[in-house]
Structure 1
Amino acid sequence: MTPDIRLAETPAHARHGSNIGQPLTRREGILKVKGEARYAADNHAPGMLYAVLAVSSIARGRVTSLDVRAAKAHAGVVEVMTSANRPALAEDPDAKTNPFMFRLDLLQNDQVRYANQPIAVVIAETLEAATEGAALLAPRYDVLPARIGLDSGESFVPPVVGVGNPSEMRRGDVEAGLATASKRIDATYETPAQYHNAMEPHAIVAVWDGDKLSIDTPSQGLAIAQGRLAGIFGISPDNIHIRSPFLGGGFGSKGLISGPQVLGILAARLVNKPVKLVLRREHMYGPVGHRSASRQRLRIGLDGDGLLTAIDHHARVATSSFDDFYEPAADASHTLYASPAIATSHEAVRLDTGTPLFMRAPGEATGSIALESAIDEAAWACRIDPLTIRLKNYAEVEPISGKPFSSKALRQCYAQGAERFGWARRPLDPRQMRDDAGLLVGWGMGTATFPALMFAAEARAAVRSDGSGLMEIGAHDMGQGAWTALAQIAADGLGLDIDQVEFRSGTSDLPDAGIAGGSAHTATAGMAIHNAGAAVIAKLADLATGDERSPLFGAGNAGVTARDGRLFRRDDEMRSESYVDILTRAGLAQIEASGKGGPDPAAQSTYAMHAHGAVFAEVKVDPDLGQIRVTRMVGAFAVGRIINPRMVQSQIFGGMIWGMSFALHEQAVTDRRSGRILNADFAEYHVPVNADVPPMEALMIDEYDPHVNALGIKGVGEIGITGSAGAVANAVWHATGTRVRRFPIGIDDLVTTG
C-alpha cells in the first residue's frame, strides 16, 4: 500500500518552461508544518505493544545475570526478550557476505562489545511500563578493561578503507619531494568521534502475518533493508513491505538496517503482536554507527615559489573490536592539489565501541579539515595568501590518477566567492583586524570537493488517458527535498507540468531507487526517472506515428518532442497531438514503461568526477575570554546541473553549518574508565543552534558536465561540509595567531593561564 501523501501544488505563476531548474517549494512542506507528515513512530497498529531496549552500562565483558522475573512481574509488562528466548534467525548476525553487510547485536550471546549495546528487550502494554521494566532488569556483569582512544591498542593496516578503497596509494617519490623542498610542513591534526544525531531517532513498527512482514521504519535504502531482513529471517524479499515516506534526517546512519530495528521485528515475532520500538536519544550512541576519531599527519613540501613538491597524508582511525569499517580520511588528498608526489596511507586500531559507519561526507569531512589546515599553514610558511597558494597549485587533472576531470569550475568558485566575501582586503598576517568592540577578526578559506557518484536504480512511469502522468520509484526523502526535485525530473521526462504528475515513492513495493547516500540520490533516482519517462514517450510516439489517423503519422524518422501534454513533430511543430487523443483513439487507459539508471563504466574509467567549491569564513574572537563566534560565511559551488535552486541552497547551507559544527562544536566525550559516552544527549553533545549560525551566502556556479550522467547532475548534500570546516579553523588562526590542530576548537585552546 502506498502512503496517502497529499503534496502541495506549486502556483502556476511560480513556474515557467521546464520544471527542472525552478525553485519550487517543498511539495510536502505543508504536511510537515501542520504535523501531518507521518514518520515511522507516528504509526499505531491495532493491538500494538511497546518495546524498550535494555542496554549495557559497560563497554567490554559479559552479562552474568538479568532479573527477568522482576521485570515480568511489573504491571503492564508482557514479555522480556533475552538471548535465552529470542526467536531463531536464519542467518548468523555476525556473518558478512558483502561489503555493505555489518555485524549486528541481536542478543546472540551474553557478550558485551560496547557501551549501549542492547542486552534485552522489554515488551509491554505501554511505553512507560516497558521503560520501567527495563530498569528492573538490574544487569550484572563480568567486566573487562575497556579499550578506548586511538592509543589504546596496537595498530594495523586495514585491507581497505571506506567502501573498497585501497588503504595506501602513491604517485611519485614523496621522500625526494620533501627532501628538495624549500619549505616543509609536518603537522598532526586530531578529530573526535562524532555521532549522527538525526532529529528522528531510529524507530520501527513491526507487524507479522504468518511469514509476511510489514514495517514502518526510516530507511535510506529500502531495497537493501528488504534484502538484509529477508536473509536474517529466511523469507522472500517479496514478503517484506517497508514503508518509509519521510525521514527526520539520516546522514548515513539509516543507510543500512540496524540492530535495534531488527530487535523490534524479533519482539513482534516473539509475542505475535504488532510492536513499536523507538530508540531513546542516548541509545543512538552505539548500535547505529558514528564517525570515528582520527589522528592525521600531513607532511607537505613546497619550493621557493610556493609550488607543492610532495604531499604525504597519513591517518590513524578507529574501528570496533568486532567489525571492519575504516574512515578513509587520507583520501581527501587525492583530488585537490597538483603535486608531483602524493602518498596517502591509513592505520587502524580496534576499540570497544559500536562500529563506525558512514556519516555525512565520510572520509572527506574528516580528511579535508586536516588538509585545508595544512595548506593554510603552508601558505603562511611561504608568506603567500591562502587563496593564491591554492591557485598556484590548482590541479588541471586529478592528481592521484592523472585522469581529466569530467568538469571543473573551481577557479570560478574561487573568484566569485572571494569577490563576494571581500577577500582582497584580508591582511596576510594574523591578529591584524578588530571590530569596534575590540574583538579579534579573522578570515579563512577552504576548498570543497566531493565525488560525483551514481548507483543503480529503476523507475516505472505511465501516461494516462486523461492526460496525467504517474511516476513510481522507491526513493527516499530525509529532508533534502527529494519529493520535489525528483518530481520535477519526472514531470520533464513525461512532458507535463509537475501538478499533472502523480509521484509515488517511499515504499519497498516500488522500483528500487538505490541508496540515498554519497550525495548520489538525485542523480541515481533522477536518471531512472528520466529514462522511464523517455520510454513511455517513445511508446506513445510509436502509437501516434504509426496511426494514419494521427497528425503525427509518418514522423518516425523525423522524431517527436514531448511538452505540455502533447507530442510535436521535430520537423514541423505545427503538427502535434495530445496524449489524451492518442490514448483515446488507441482505446488505452494508460501506457507505461520502466527505465533504469546507473553509472557509465566507460565514463568512470576515463574521467575523474567531482563537484567543487570554495568557502570563505569570518570569525570574531574575544581576546580575553577566547569565545569564538562565526559571523559570516560565503560559499561558491560548482555542482553540475541544478534541479531545484531552493533545495540546493538548503542542502549547501546545511553542509556549511555542519562544517562549522565540525570545527567548533561536535565531539563525543568518553569516560576512559567505563567506555561510556558522557554526553549522549542533545544538551551536552553540542551542535549549532540558530543563535550560532551566521549570515550565509551560497553562490551556484554554472557548470555543464556531459559525462557524469545525461542530466548533468552532481550531488550537493555533503560538499558543503568539506570546505567549511577548514575555512572556520583557518579563520580562527587568522584572528588569533594560534594554530589549533585538535578539533573542535575550544576556549581552552586559545586562552592560556600565566
Structure 2
Amino acid sequence: MPLETTSPLPQHRRHGSSAGQPLTRRDGVLKVTGRATYAADNHPDGILYAVTAVSSIARGRVTALDVEAAKAHPGVVEVLTPANRPPLAHDPDEKMPPFGFRVEVLQDDTVRYVNQPIAIVIAETLEAATEGAALLNPVYEVEPARTDLESGKRFDPEGIGIGAPARTAHGDIEAGLAAAVRVTEADYVTPPQYHNAMEPHAVVAQWDGDRVTIDMPNQTLALSCASYAAYFGIPAENVLIRSPFLGGGFGSKAILNGPQILAILAARMLNRPVKLALTRAQMYGPVGHRGRTWQKLRLGVDEEGRLTALHHQALCTTSSFDEFLEPAANASLPLYASPAILAEHEGLRLDVGTPGPMRAPGLASGSAALEVAMDEAAEACGMDPLDFRLANYAETEPVTGKPFSSKALRECYAEGAKRFGWSGRPLAPRTMRDENGFLIGWGMGTAVFHCPHFPAEARATLRADGTALMETAGADMGQGAWTALAQIAAEALGLDPDQVELHSGISSLPDGGIAGGSGHTASAGLALHNAGEDAIARLAELATNDPASPLFGAGNIGVVARSGRLHRRDDESRGESYAEILARAGRSDVVGTAKTARDPAVASAHAMYSHGAVFAEVKVDPDLGQIRVARLVGAFAAGRIINPRLVRSQYFGGMIWGASFALHEEAIADRRTGRIMNADLAEYHVPVNADVPSLDAILIPEDDPHVNPIGVKGVGEIGITGTVGAIANAVWHATGVRVRRFPVRVEDLLISREFA
C-alpha cells in the first residue's frame, strides 16, 4: 500500500499514512534480548557506588551516626551526612514549579518519615557501600508517629494535585438535595499505593568541570535539567540527562527526589562517577505514592432517576512538610449531568513521604468511589446501572457548560454492553451461579480522563538518501512512544516508518515535553508532525522554485508528499523524489523545526476528555469469600488511534491496574512506628498472571477536530478509572454485599450478614 500524506499548509498536502497501523514496537527486540540500556546498566570508568542509609523511624531526629566505623570498612571512600554535606545552590525546602517538591538532602538531622535519607555511603563496590551503610548504626530521638486519621493533623488546603483548586462548586448543592426524591449517601476509603515500577529509581552521575552527565529514568527531561541546574548552580545547558529506556514511570519519574540529588552531589564532591540505585524497600518513601483517601458522596435523585445534586468530599493524606493532595473529588466534575455539583477537599498531615502523581492521579481514587455511589443510587431507584448512567449522560461539561471537543461515550456504553452481554444481567444480586456453585456478579463503571497538551519541540531532517531523522527529547516508559511517534513522523514526511530514524530520550534534543498525564503522544507527536510538515514545505519550496524541476511553478497549486516523492496536486504524474530535489539543489539535507502548544482559545472553548465504559464479571466462592475477576470488557473512545496494537496494550495495562486497585494493592503501615510492613513485591500485592482475567478492549472510532491538529488523545491512564468501580459493583451483584473500602477483602464479605 503506498504511504500518502495530507497537510494544511498551502503548498502541499498528504495522502494516507502508516499511522493507524498495528506496527510492532521498535524497542521490543532490544528489550527481550537484554540489549536495552537502563540507567543502572551504565558503568563509566572509575565508577563509585552509593548506597542510601535511611531512617527506620517516622518522626524525630538522628542524634548519632557511627561514621568512623563506616569509613573504616574496606572500600568505603566517603560518608555524606548533614555534618559534611557540601552546600547546594537551591534551598531544598523551597519548591520549584511546576513539579517541584520539598526534598530531603541531608539539610539537617530531622526525620520526617520512614525511609528518609539520613546518610549516603560511597564506596568502590556496591557490597562495600551496603556494608558501610549498615555500620552507621543510627541513634534516634523518637517522637510519636502520626500515621492515621486519629493522630494526623487536618487542614484546609489552598490547592490540590498540580495547581487545581481545593473546592469547585456548580449550582446550589443543598437545594438540589432538598429537591431530591431520594438521597444516597455513603463513605468510601481508598488505600495508600506505592510506585512499584519494574525499574527502581537509579542514577549514574559524572562531572566534567561544571558540566554533568546524568543517566537516569526521567519523564521530564527539559524540566529536570532546569531543576538540577538550580540545585547545583550551573546553567541548564550544562546538564545532560540520558534516559533512553524507562522500566515504568507512572508519574514518580517526573519528580526529582533526594537520593538522586545526593548521588549527583557526591559525584561532584569526589570528582568521580557515582551510581546509586534504590532498593525496592527504599522506594516506599522518597519517590512519591498515591495517598490514602476518605471520601463521602451524597447523590440526590428525582422521580425519573436524574441527579438533582452530586456532592463529593475527599479527605486526602499528605506529608507533614509538603502538600500533594490526591484530587479525588474532582472525579465528579466531568461525567454526570446535575444542576448542582460540589467537589471539595480537606488535607490530613501524616509522617509519611510526600505523595505525588501516580497513574491517573485523583481520577483513579475518585472514580472508584463515584462509580460505586452511582451504582448505589441506581439500586435505590430500582434502575439498571447502565440505564441510570444514560439517564444522567452529560451532553456538555457539567460544571462549565462547555461543549466536549468530542464524546463517543454513548457508543462506548453500547458496544461494551453488547460485547459483554449486559442485557442478560438480572437486576437483583445473588441470582447467578456457575456450574461449580460460585456466585457470579456483573458490574460496570464509566471511564474518563482529561486530555492535556504540553509544549513540545521537534526537529526533522530529510536526507539526501531519501531517509529522515526525527528528533525530540521524549520518553518511552514502555507505552510504545518510540513506535507511535515514528509513525506520526513518517506520516508527516510521506515516508515509510522504516525510512524514519527517531532520536529521543536525551535532553540535548529539542524539548519533547512531559511524558505523563496521558499527553505524551499528542504533545511530542504534534511537534514531530509539524516539524515534518515544515521540512516538506522547505523541500517543496526548493522544487517549485527550480526551473529544472517538474514541480516548477506549482507553489500556488500545491504538492503531494507520498512514498518519498513530491507530486503536483493537479497532476500527480509530474513529480520527483526527495533525493532528486536535494541533489539538484546541492543540498545534503533540509531541516524543519517546530514548537507547539495548545491554542488557549481552543482550550477555553472546549472540554477535552477521553471516555470509556468497563464491564466486569467476578466469581465469588460462597463459602470462603474468595473473589476472582473472570472477565473485563472495556470500550474506549480516545480520538485518533495511531497504533491500535499499542493502544490495546495500554488499555489492558490500565484495566489490570484497576483490578489491582480493586482487589490487591495496599501499603500497610505499623501504626506505632510508621514503617511500611509490606515494602516488597512479596507482600505488596499486585496481580500476577493467574489474577489477570480474560481481557477485551474495544477501540471506538472518534474524530476530534479540536483536541489538537492530529486528533490524538491519551490512552495510558483511562483504563484504571472505570475498572475499579466495575469490579466492586460486580462483587455486590454477586454477593449482595456493598463494600466501600478498597481493596475489597475476603473478611469484608465474611463478616457481612448479606453474604451469610
Assess same fold via TM > 0.5: yes
Aligned to 2:328: 329
Secondary structure (helix, strand or coil) at the match of 1:44 reads coil
Q: Is contact 1:442-1:619 (8 Å) kept?
A: yes
Aligned to 1:268: 267
Q: Which stretch shifts more, 596-605 or 517-526? A: 596-605
Deviation at 1:78, TM superposition (A): 1.2
Deviations 1:6-26 (A, max 9, x none): xxxx999xxx95110010000
Q: Is contact 2:454-2:519 (8 Å) kept?
A: yes
Aligned to 1:73: 72
Deviations 1:522-575 (A, max 9, x none): 000000000000000010011000111110011111111211011111111111
Aligned to 2:60: 61
Deviation at 1:752, TM superposition (A): 2.3
Query: Alignment identity in percent?
Result: 67
Deviation at 1:98, TM superposition (A): 2.3
Matched, 1:689 2:696: no
Matched, 1:565 2:569: no
Letter in 1 for 2:302: D
Deviations 1:273-307 (A, max 9, x none): 11110000000000000000000000001011111
> Matched residues in 1 for 2:580 and 2:2: separation?
27
TM-score (norm 2): 0.97
Aligned to 1:659: 658
Secondary structure (helix, strand or coil) at the match of 1:397 reads coil
Aligned to 2:672: 673
Following superposition of structure 1 onto structure 2, how do residues 363-374 of structure 1 map, counting pairs within 5 Å? 363-374=362-373
Deviation at 1:609, TM superposition (A): 0.4
Deviation at 1:324, TM superposition (A): 1.4
Deviations 1:434-458 (A, max 9, x none): 0010000000000000001100000
Secondary structure (helix, strand or coil) at the match of 1:433 reads coil
Aligned to 2:8: none
> Matched residues in 2 for 1:563 and 1:258: separation?
47
Secondary structure (helix, strand or coil) at the match of 2:267 reads helix
Aligned to 2:49: 50
Aligned to 1:435: 434
> Matched residues in 2 for 1:569 and 1:167: separation?
56
Aligned to 1:6: none
> Matched residues in 2 for 1:101 and 1:696: separation?
38
Deviations 1:397-456 (A, max 9, x none): 000111010000000000000000000000000010000100000000000000011000
Aligned to 2:9: none
Aligned to 1:200: 199
Letter in 1 for 2:468: G
Aligned to 2:7: none
Aligned to 1:546: 545
Q: Is contact 2:297-2:313 (8 Å) kept?
A: yes
> Matched residues in 2 for 1:449 and 1:531: separation?
28
Aligned to 1:359: 358
Q: List 4+ stretches of structure 1 deviating above 6 A.
A: none
> Matched residues in 1 for 2:205 and 2:252: separation?
20
Deviation at 1:600, TM superposition (A): 1.5
Deviation at 1:218, TM superposition (A): 0.3
Letter in 2 for 1:203: A
Q: Which stretch shifts more, 40-49 or 158-167? A: 158-167
> Matched residues in 1 for 2:199 and 2:514: separation?
19
Following superposition of structure 1 onto structure 2, how do residues 41-440 of structure 1 map, counting pairs within 5 Å? 41-440=40-439
Q: Is contact 2:96-2:227 (8 Å) kept?
A: no
Q: Is contact 1:86-1:270 (8 Å) kept?
A: no
Letter in 2 for 1:161: I
> Matched residues in 2 for 1:281 and 1:340: separation?
47
Q: Is contact 2:157-2:347 (8 Å) kept?
A: yes
Letter in 2 for 1:324: E
> Matched residues in 2 for 1:45 and 1:748: separation?
52
Letter in 2 for 1:332: A
Letter in 1 for 2:663: L
Aligned to 1:3: none
Deviations 1:178-209 (A, max 9, x none): 11211111100000110111000000011111
Q: Is contact 1:491-1:498 (8 Å) kept?
A: yes
Aligned to 2:495: 496
Letter in 1 for 2:375: D
Q: Is contact 2:530-2:594 (8 Å) kept?
A: yes
Deviation at 1:153, TM superposition (A): 2.9
Secondary structure (helix, strand or coil) at the match of 1:254 reads helix
> Matched residues in 1 for 2:327 and 2:627: separation?
30
Mark the runs of 5 or more structure 1 residues left unpaired by the alignment.
1-9
> Matched residues in 1 for 2:722 and 2:636: separation?
10
Aligned to 1:721: 720
Deviation at 1:505, TM superposition (A): 0.5
Aligned to 1:4: none
Q: Is contact 2:145-2:351 (8 Å) kept?
A: yes
TM-score (norm 1): 0.97
Secondary structure (helix, strand or coil) at the match of 1:54 reads strand
Deviations 1:452-490 (A, max 9, x none): 110000001110111111101001000000010001111
Secondary structure (helix, strand or coil) at the match of 1:502 reads strand
> Matched residues in 2 for 1:649 and 1:85: separation?
51
Matched, 1:453 2:452: yes
> Matched residues in 1 for 2:33 and 2:158: separation?
49
Q: Is contact 1:224-1:256 (8 Å) kept?
A: no
> Matched residues in 2 for 1:11 and 1:657: separation?
38
Matched, 1:712 2:711: yes
Deviation at 1:176, TM superposition (A): 1.1
> Matched residues in 1 for 2:468 and 2:491: separation?
11
Secondary structure (helix, strand or coil) at the match of 1:228 reads helix
Letter in 2 for 1:419: K
Deviation at 1:236, TM superposition (A): 1.0
Aligned to 2:11: none
Q: Is contact 1:246-1:506 (8 Å) kept?
A: yes
Letter in 2 for 1:55: V
Secondary structure (helix, strand or coil) at the match of 1:395 reads coil
Secondary structure (helix, strand or coil) at the match of 2:36 reads coil
Following superposition of structure 1 onto structure 2, how do residues 549-698 of structure 1 map, counting pairs within 5 Å? 549-698=548-697
> Matched residues in 2 for 1:208 and 1:694: separation?
49
> Matched residues in 2 for 1:98 and 1:585: separation?
50
Secondary structure (helix, strand or coil) at the match of 2:733 reads helix
> Matched residues in 2 for 1:237 and 1:165: separation?
28
Q: Which stretch shifts more, 82-91 or 651-660? A: 82-91
> Matched residues in 2 for 1:154 and 1:272: separation?
44
Q: Is contact 1:87-1:269 (8 Å) kept?
A: no
Q: 1:78 to 1:601 in 2, by over 3 A?
A: same
Q: Which stretch shifts more, 158-167 or 373-382? A: 158-167
Letter in 2 for 1:663: A
> Matched residues in 1 for 2:104 and 2:611: separation?
39
Q: Is contact 1:72-1:78 (8 Å) kept?
A: yes
Q: Is contact 1:150-1:316 (8 Å) kept?
A: no
> Matched residues in 2 for 1:96 and 1:628: separation?
44
Secondary structure (helix, strand or coil) at the match of 1:155 reads strand
Q: 1:572 to 1:11 in 2, by over 3 A?
A: closer
Deviations 1:555-602 (A, max 9, x none): 111111211011111111111111011000000011102112221211
Letter in 1 for 2:93: D
Q: Is contact 1:488-1:643 (8 Å) kept?
A: yes
Letter in 2 for 1:235: I
Q: Is contact 1:150-1:293 (8 Å) kept?
A: no
Q: Is contact 1:528-1:596 (8 Å) kept?
A: yes
Q: Is contact 1:219-1:257 (8 Å) kept?
A: no
Letter in 2 for 1:341: A
Aligned to 1:523: 522
